[in-house]
Structure 1
Amino acid sequence: MSPTFFAPLALRDYRLFESNDHDETRDLISRVMQPHVLEPAGRACGRSYMDFVKVGRLGLGAISFGTSMHVDVESVDGYYLLMFCLSGHARVRTLDATLDVDRNNAVLCAPGQPFDAWLSSDCEQFVLRIDADAFRKAGGSHEPGVSIDSPALQGWMQQLRALTSSAALLESARSNMQIAGHMERLLIDLLAGALPGAPGALPSVAPAFVKRAEEFIRTHAGDALQLEDIASAAGVSARTLRERFQAVRGVSPMQFVRDVRMQQARDALLAAGPQARVADIALACGFFHLGRFSIAYAKTFGEMPSETLRRRGQAS
């Protein structure tokens, strides 16, 4: 048996779905991961399935499409994604790296990075969704290529294998918050401590087109911006802008758009007059869904936008 042989049998008790429908497959995976593009290489989608369970701030899953598939995620949204193959193989592009992924070699995508993968017809993926704050606090590196058969990662693999092969242990970790917390921290600490290299400082000098993109975003943040609009204004291709922006700023261009909009919304709420409404300010700043804006605002600033508006009124 290979030292990295990995069969997460306990995950099979957490079948999220089975489907022969391509659109249904994409939509159901998006509910626990994020929106993405699925393009079958053949004429029809095979029998697809996904097993998925949450353990604290970790999400563990297995996905098979039953046919060759192209998966395109423009930008991993707010978490670290680690993926390797239980069977078959994949070729994954993220930023300027193209990696061959199989049983022994994984890919690790940081928040804001693209995930563009071509999966073989017999590929079954194992995916680990890792909370971004927890991974950063543990000192995890951002190197995209991970050799999971390396001696340094054997402790992590053994712990991951123990969790996903024991139905009793996995159910205890899923249902008991205290156990989940211990298991989550152990897995994240083992992974982060074994990865080669530490996060390096971002380059201090940005290319001129990145600065043009930033200025365009700040000026037009209230518009319905797309990546292509920003790239056109910066004078480069969308792919070049996305990759270099991420490399020098640590976030994707569209994440930067959201950050700018959020700060502009807060500034507007704090400076608002007595008749101001949260909905009007959110719309003017480019947020077209009030509920999602309120949730994101509270996560960013620790209070609801209505509380900021009310506090402004009390202070004036």
Structure 2
Amino acid sequence: MDVHVEEYQSLPGLNDARRSNLFSRTNGFLFSDPGNGHLTTSTATTDKFGIRIGRVRSTGHEIDLTELNHSTMLLPVQGLLEARSRRAEHSCRQGEALLFGPNRRTTRAVSEGGEHFEANVVLFPTDVLMANLDRQALERTGDLLESGVAVHDADAASVPLLKFCDFLSAAIMNGSAALGNRRHVQTMEALLIELYGEFISRLAEKTAGRKAPSAGARYVVKAEEYMRANLDEPLTVAEIAAAIGVSQRSLQLAFREVRSATPREILALMRLHLVHEKLKSDKSGAGVTDIALECGVANIGRFASCYREVYGEKPSTTRRRARAGLARTR
């Protein structure tokens, strides 16, 4: 499993919007120390389920981000992590974690005692979770996860998931020899999904008596599920609204409330993410434009600039690096 490393450093007069390879979109970025800021992200993606596992090391920073395609688990190893979503604020340290479903949030990494902030990050693809876990439990906890959930090692039921996330991240980042066995890696992937599912089921049981998600939140969940299933189709907002049985205006308002974006913007980001994943994994001789068209991208003229804005590099660069990696594994 290849680990992809990206480094970001503050420059004189520049302390904003550095793009990360971890999340769907970076809306804004600030180093805590603009004169001496440094951030390193290391990521690897599992083969079977496409779980993204990463490590973040930073002098301290704040990031406003939107994540659409994954549920995210953030596990501090060193320092303090603070996060703010649309309806809640959280903080955690080593031995704890924060779990978010797809949402927009602001996270602040605080270095303490002269040591860098460091955290493990695990991103579970939404479509994989929907295909492998109890759908009712996922729907019941969707509104809660959009706000964010604190996971504590004092809760015995949470310990297996916390421990295994930290173990797997350390194994990948340290280049454990065990990762050379593909079957063993896939077994660990399956265990990780199973532990996540058990946690979500228990969370659903705890929230059974709580108020049901708002109508807007339910509209967004249904619309995004429909979008993911039809990304290669020439969808319009009106068609999406009709497919889930609401008015176009109601859908627009729901996305503004829940995602702080329009359905069209979210659909475009989903397609960019699909292109990004295919550029990295497609083993055919297809070029960038062919793959983009296959993923439903309509405005090829703006595609490259949008891709670079989100992923920090040209799509051709992603494709070239992926081909080099695939060639090494043959």
TM range (shorter): 0.5 to 0.7
Counterpart in the other structure of 2:203: 197
Tell me by how many angstroms 1:154 deviates.
Answer: 1.9
Counterpart in the other structure of 1:128: 122
Asked if 1:16 is matched to 2:23, the reply is no
Query: Aligned residues, how many?
Result: 232
Aligned amino acid, residue 9 of structure 2: N
Contact in 1 for aligned 2:42/2:56 (Cα 8 Å): yes
> 2-side partners of 1:256 and 1:175: how far apart?
41
Change (3 A) 1:172 1:59: farther
Alignment of structure 1 residues 152-163 onto 2, 5 Å = 152-163=157-168
Secondary structure at the aligned position of 1:190 is classed as helix
Contact in 1 for aligned 2:44/2:172 (Cα 8 Å): no
| Aligned counterpart for 1:102 among listed residues 81, 93, 106 | 93
Counterpart in the other structure of 2:262: 254
> 1-side partners of 2:266 and 2:20: how far apart?
20
Change (3 A) 1:289 1:107: farther
Contact in 2 for aligned 1:15/1:49 (Cα 8 Å): no
Tell me by how many angstroms 1:78 deviates.
Answer: 0.8
Contact in 2 for aligned 1:60/1:127 (Cα 8 Å): yes
- Could you state the TM-score of these two structures normalised by the residue count of structure 1? 0.57
Counterpart in the other structure of 1:70: 62
Change (3 A) 1:109 1:15: same
Contact in 1 for aligned 2:25/2:67 (Cα 8 Å): no
Contact in 2 for aligned 1:159/1:187 (Cα 8 Å): yes
> 1-side partners of 2:269 and 2:123: how far apart?
27
Alignment of structure 1 residues 34-183 onto 2, 5 Å = 34-36=24-26, 37-56=28-47, 57-67=50-60, 69-73=61-65, 75-111=66-102, 113-122=103-112, 123-136=117-130, 137-139=132-134, 140=138, 141-142=141-142, 143=145, 144-149=148-153, 150-166=155-171, 171=176, 174-183=179-188
Aligned amino acid, residue 34 of structure 1: S
Q: Deviations over 1:136-184 (max 9, x none)?
A: 3323544321323020022223333443444799646655543332211
Contact in 1 for aligned 2:256/2:262 (Cα 8 Å): no
Tell me by how many angstroms 1:206 deviates.
Answer: 4.6
Percent identical pairs in the alignment equals 14
Aligned amino acid, residue 64 of structure 2: D
Q: Deviations over 1:70-118 (max 9, x none)?
A: 1100x2021111112111112201231111122233222212x112112
Change (3 A) 1:189 1:104: same
Aligned amino acid, residue 132 of structure 1: T
Aligned amino acid, residue 88 of structure 2: A
Secondary structure at the aligned position of 2:20 is classed as helix
In structure 2, stretches of 5+ residues that fail to align are 221-235, 241-248, 271-289, 305-330
Aligned-residue CA RMSD in angstroms?
A: 4.6
Contact in 1 for aligned 2:3/2:44 (Cα 8 Å): yes
Secondary structure at the aligned position of 1:44 is classed as coil
> 2-side partners of 1:118 and 1:169: how far apart?
25
Q: Deviations over 1:204-236 (max 9, x none)?
A: 7459xx9xxxxxx947x9xxxxxxxxxxxx8xx
> 2-side partners of 1:92 and 1:126: how far apart?
15
Aligned amino acid, residue 20 of structure 1: Q
Asked if 1:244 is matched to 2:252, the reply is no
Look at both structures and tell me which one has the larger radius of gyration over its CA atoms: 1
Change (3 A) 1:32 1:99: closer
- Could you state the TM-score of these two structures normalised by the residue count of structure 2? 0.55
Tell me by how many angstroms 1:45 deviates.
Answer: 4.1
Tell me by how many angstroms 1:187 deviates.
Answer: 0.7
Asked if 1:186 is matched to 2:191, the reply is yes
Q: Deviations over 1:231-260 (max 9, x none)?
A: xxx8xxx9x9657345xxxxx643455559
In structure 1, stretches of 5+ residues that fail to align are 1-10, 211-216, 222-233, 247-251, 263-278, 294-316
Tell me by how many angstroms 1:21 deviates.
Answer: 4.0
| Aligned counterpart for 1:31 among listed residues 3, 10, 21 | 21
> 1-side partners of 2:268 and 2:56: how far apart?
35
Change (3 A) 1:243 1:192: farther
Aligned amino acid, residue 53 of structure 2: L
